[in-house]
Amino acid sequence: MVSEATARRVLGAAESLGYLRNHTAASLRTRRTRTVGLLLQDLSDPQSALFARGLEDQLATAGYVALTGSTECDAIRERMILTEMRGRHVDGLILAGRAARASLVAEASKIGLPLVTAGRVPGSSALPAVSADLPRGARMVVNHLAALGHREISCLTGPGENGRYQEFVAAMVARGLQPYPRGVIAKSLTAGEGRRCCRQLLAADALGTAVIATSDMLAAGCCQALAEAGRACPQDISVTGFGDLPVADAITPTLTTIRLPQYHLGLQAAQLLLDRITDPDSPPTARLLAPELVVRGSTARAVGTVLTEDPTHN
């Protein structure tokens, strides 16, 4: 109706005159706020923050912003946050990580808003979902250790990491190994707990030649316990982590671990939600993102072993 160039000129002039479209009024009229709600357990968790940053970046490309609510997996908080977001008429919701527990997913679904879950193992639900390929990550670790000649591998896990632990067990079984001994369970995902559990395994002489920890913090604690016990890592015992937190590169020895694509998960979650908002009837795609094996200094050949395969190949 009017040439592209002219349109631009007008818009430019408007802007230089200080005009800014009133987003609030537009939202009221169009019933779209270009705002989405992000529910996660705790924004201050570094992995969550990385996810949130990815989300922010992708949403920004479409003129969207996120409202973040930390649920702490508490029903009261969840209720309040959901109410707040409904009142603010968000265009969609993202449930990330542990916050995406069944009860919340159910409650959020009832609202009838586009919904995406992130970082949860895709279940039976027919929701769009993004998550890291945990089974694959577990296989990468197990294959790496197995290729280094490790046969007696213990496993250290903690609260909320049972999914990861199960994947490790499955990967070991697939490789003809079995956890040695049964997994040890920390009370929290802290270095202190990793240290304590590792000491316990040491005392029982039940470490094997390698320890798989289901999170980097536990692995870091493990390395501390080994150091204080005078056991050399990786010469005597190999240790692996999971997550590739900043800590992985900062401990001695540097930690071999699996890098989870948190930032990328954020990008993808945003895109999936934007797609859903644009076309609510689009099929609920699930996206699985590949993790990455980062080989550093905490893994080495099992003592008295000859290499038969490439430990960096998966």
Among 177, 192, 196, 206, binds its own copies (CB under 8 A): 192
Rounded to whole angstroms, what are the CA distances from 259 to 64, 140, 141, 281, 308?
28, 11, 11, 34, 25
Taking the least distance from each CB to DNA, the nearer of 20 and 76 is 20
Q: How far apart are the C-alpha atoms of 149 and 301, rounded to whole Å?
A: 6
Q: How far apart are the C-alpha atoms of 186 and 160, rounded to whole Å?
A: 10
- 69 makes contact with its own copies (CB under 8 A): yes
- 30 makes contact with DNA (CB under 7 A): yes
- 187 makes contact with its own copies (CB under 8 A): no
Under 8 Å between Cβ of 301 and 145:
no
Beta bridge partners of 118: 96, 130
Pattern 2-31, binding to its own copies, x per CB under 8 A?
------------------xxxxxx-xx---
- 8 makes contact with DNA (CB under 7 A): no
Q: Pick the closest to residue 215 from 178, 162, 175 (CA basis).
A: 162
Q: Which amino acid is at 68?
A: T
How far is C-alpha 116 from the chain's CA centre?
Answer: 15
Beta bridge partners of 124: none
234 contacts which partner out of DNA, its own copies, none, CB within 5 to 8 A by kind? none
Among 7, 26, 75, 307, binds DNA (CB under 7 A): 26
Pattern 252-281, binding to its own copies, x per CB under 8 A?
x-x--------x------------------
- 9 makes contact with DNA (CB under 7 A): no
Q: How far apart are the C-alpha atoms of 265 and 285, rounded to whole Å?
A: 14
Rounded to whole angstroms, what are the CA distances from 38 to 35, 82, 117?
10, 10, 10
1 contacts which partner out of DNA, its own copies, none, CB within 5 to 8 A by kind? DNA
We find the least distance from the C-beta atom of residue 6 to its own copies, in angstroms, to be 22
Contacting positions for its own copies (CB under 8 A): 20-25, 27-28, 33, 42-46, 48-50, 52-53, 56-57, 60, 63, 65-70, 80, 83-84, 86-89, 190-192, 217, 220-221, 223-224, 227-228, 245-247, 249-252, 254, 263
Contacting positions for DNA (CB under 7 A): 1-2, 19-22, 25-26, 28-31
